[in-house]
Amino acid sequence: MGLIIGSHVGMSGKQMLVGSVKEALSYKANTFMFYTGAPQNTRRKPISELRVDEAKALMQENGIDMDHVVVHAPYIINLGNTIKPETYALAVDFLAQEIERVDEIGAKTLVLHPGAHVKGGIEAGLDSIVKGLNTVLKEDQGCTIALETMAGKGTELGTDFDQLKYIIDHVALSDKLGLCLDTCHLNDAGYDINDFDSILDEVDAKVGLGRVKVIHVNDSKNPRGAHKDRHENIGYGTIGFEALNNVVHHPRLENVPKILETPYIEDVAPYGEEIDMLRKQVFNPHLKEKIIK
């Protein structure tokens, strides 16, 4: 099948999802990730206004498989909040709508930050996430919820595979759940990306490697275990190019989409250059200067 790699792309203006596909193609990507609306609020256009059929036609013409396209749920969804019932209720309601929207679009993977316990305690937070997922998941839904590995900033949950296993084990429709491994988050949570096989072995032992639906490929501005979550461009952070290149080309993850979420360089998207580097498996130490020029 070859390397399945792309990045986060925008979706706005008159072009909508057609614009997302065009942006991905401009990076020579064969997959991409998008939000169905702004990640910080609940305002959403009807799917009928997103130009989905035109976007799918453009994807088909250019070899992008809809099954590899990823949707990211908005950040404001927090199923782990037991302190404010209204926040939890909003999260459940909005996630249920988002699942319906993703199914209507036809994407197969919806990435979700598991949630934060906001000082309600880890156990209470995890149980709240389980309760929320048991409320929203449906037998007939087409998409899988990929729970993202988190850095452990504040009271974030999902920072280790025991927590993620707990959620999966206690959700009734666990076949609707998968994982999104984020390299920056794993690093900042304390995992060693240089020993990625050990990470995959732990994933396989605790939840099954088949649950890994997407990889977020990001370097980190922080040392391992910092619990900070600050992404850096590929090869410019504390993880380094060699370790990230190993993740991207790992034979155990060959059919899993790899998505870049690295920072813009002086308002310029670096994704085309970074994808090219990872395809060629050669680090360009002048990447930032090249993009700024």
- Which residues are known binding-site members? 72, 113, 148, 182, 185, 216, 229, 231, 261
Q: What is the CA radius of gyration of the chain?
A: 18
Contact 102, 143 (CB under 8 A): yes
Element of type H or E holding 129: helix 122-136
Q: Known binding site for Zn(2+): residues?
A: 72, 113, 148, 182, 185, 216, 229, 231, 261
Closest CA to 122 of 173, 159, 174: 159
- Give the whole-angstrom CA distance, residue 232 versus residue 74: 21
Could you tell me where the beta strands, DSSP code E, fall in 192-257? 212-217, 219-220, 231-232
In the structure encoding, which two tokens stand for residue 113, read together?
């930050």
Contact 81, 75 (CB under 8 A): no
φ/ψ (deg, to 5) at 278:
-70, -35
- Give the whole-angstrom CA distance, residue 23 versus residue 59: 12
φ/ψ (deg, to 5) at 215:
-115, 125
- Angle 71-154-91 from CA coordinates, rounded to 5°: 40
The residue type at 119: K
Contact 74, 34 (CB under 8 A): no
DSSP state of 263: P
- Give the whole-angstrom CA distance, residue 79 versus residue 230: 23
Residue 135 in 3-state DSSP?
A: helix
